[in-house]
Homo-oligomer: A and B are copies of this chain.
Amino acid sequence: MKPGPDPCCPPALEARDLRPIEGPEADDELASLAKAVGHPARVQILRLLARRTACICGDIVDELPLAQSTVSQHLKVLKEAGLVRGDVDGPRVCYCLEPRALRRLKALVGGL
């Protein structure tokens, strides 16, 4: 039972900072995060989500010169990497950044 109209993006849940910034696991983690960022369209999506402070739904499609199915694929990649979360809000889906993952990425890159 939802109490109000509160659209999406509840406070983040897990604590995944605190993990080591070096070592084999960190290497793999950095590689998979970087891989997710390693496409211009996905960078654009991340920037878009960051600009509209909170989350927006798939009018991301309108902003990119790509078919809806392609954008959906990119969102899936970002979601699987943990960089983005998609909350179902009625018929539409509300995507937003996962700040922890972003912080983690920055920490890992900073550790290079």
Does A46 make an interface contact (CB < 8 A)? yes
Number of copies of chain A assembled together = 2
A102 to B39: give the CA distance in the assembly, Å: 18
A48 to B47: give the CA distance in the assembly, Å: 31
Residues of A within 8 A of B (CB-CB), count: 25
By a CB distance below 8 angstroms, the chain B residues around A39 are 31, 35
What would 24 A/B residue contacts be, using CB atoms closer than 8 Å?
A: A27-B40, A27-B43, A27-B47, A28-B40, A28-B43, A30-B37, A30-B43, A31-B37, A31-B39, A31-B42, A31-B43, A34-B34, A34-B35, A35-B35, A35-B39, A38-B38, A50-B112, A102-B112, A105-B109, A105-B112, A106-B109, A106-B112, A109-B109, A110-B110
